Amino acid sequence: MASNEDDFWNESSSSQQNFFDGDDEVTPEEDVFSGVSQPQAVLPIDALISKEDLKKLLDDMDYEEEQVGLSPEDAIKKMFCGRNVPLTPYKSLEDKLKLLDTAIDIADGDSILTVLLFMKKTLCPNIFYTQLAKRNIAVVQYANYLVDANDSEGLVELFLATRNISYMKQIYYLLAKDDLSRDSLLKKLQQFNVNHAHNFYSPEERWEIEENIAFLEFQIKHNLSSKSVIELLTNLYMTNDNSGLIDEFQKQFKIDSFQSDWVMMSVCCKLQNWDKLLTTFINKSVWVIKKRVLKSSIRPDLFVLAISRYKPPENILEQFIGCVSDASKRLALAEKLDVHTYVINYYVEQKDKMALLKYMERVEPESQAMYLLKSSLNNPDIKWKN
């Protein structure tokens, strides 16, 4: 019996399938446990798991192995290179701070934020915010994360814990982000003030939130809508002839004369209301004389350069150039801005024929300025000095 069994197994193990015999049918291997034939199915690996997930899995296995004994500095360097470095092995405060400081040193925002979120999860709030307050870059990175996450409560907590007034504006932004109602926003700010004003240390902190509340109250009272004080002043100048309302607004929000003049000048230029620009900033009685005085706290040469960006008519530029007290600066401005009439008249007054001939190269042929220049050169009444 034993001999028969040995013959059977020896015979079975030596038998082979003849793949070249077309009459032989390839049969599936038999399941020795069930006695039922089971077909073999060969599936590609990406049918079971995506290539991306497989890569992550393999990478995680590699990085877990690499992580053993990895210093905080080396961990951040690998993280900076795009490696997935687990931070859980770093349990001491010293190691966590080394992670954070190394991320700050290489100025990698993603690494900084990753470490901060790890620290926030594994440290008590007092220690987390104390260490955060010592590192302004980390505060900025964490604040930006909270803004992106629309986490106003987290931002309030950050502000109160680090005593950083600069993030008040971000809190206002979050409060107003999805709220177009000025009345509702005002109530939110007022409630915020009630809840947190006692935590503000400096007068500047209290002043900022009170100014925002007052700004909203002014808009609601006068049915106005703007995002900033300067924008609202611009809108008042453009759409409102009520000088009393403008004066009230400027007084309440302490807008100085330079800011007011700059906004008014910009509005006139945008509207191309050149007559109003003249009547506002130059006394009408001195238009026709050579000595002109600018009625503004803006320096005359700066005023001229500012309005030149709006491409005003040449005669407008010429009149404001006349407000510059220094003759050499007036000429330099006129040449820089191609105010040809002023330059030509200046050289004629100086009886400088050579300068006039040289300036002819900058004047377009057949233009009014060229006509004036040639007429001046051919004027027999002018006695040239050269």
3 state SS of 138: helix
Single pTM value for the model: 0.58
If one compares 132 and 52, the residue with the highest pLDDT of the two is: 132
Check residue 18 and give its pLDDT: 43
282: β partners: 294
Q: Which residues of 208-246 are buried (b: 16+ CB within 10 A; e: fewer)?
A: bbeebbebbebeeeeebeeeebbebbbebbeeeeeeeeb
Convert the pLDDT of each residue in 51-101 to its tens digit.
666 565 555 555 444 445 678 888 888 888 777 788 888 888 988 988 888
pLDDT, one tens digit per residue, over 169-199 is 666 666 656 555 678 778 877 877 777 666 6
Q: What is the pLDDT of residues 267-287, one digit of tens each?
A: 999 999 999 999 999 976 554
152-191 residues labelled b (16+ CB within 10 A) or e (exposed): bebbbebbebbebbebbebbbebbbeeeeebeebbebbee
Identify which of 358, 30, 170, 261 has the alpha carbon closest to the alpha carbon of residue 246.
Answer: 261
pLDDT of residue 288: 52
Output the CA angle 65-86-108, nearest 5 degrees: 120
How far is 289 from 278, CA to CA, in rounded Å?
14
CA atoms within 13 A on the CB side of 141: 20
- The pLDDT assigned to 201 comes to 56
The alpha carbon of residue 51 and the mean position of all alpha carbons in its chain are separated, in whole angstroms, by 37
State the chain's mean pLDDT as an integer: 79
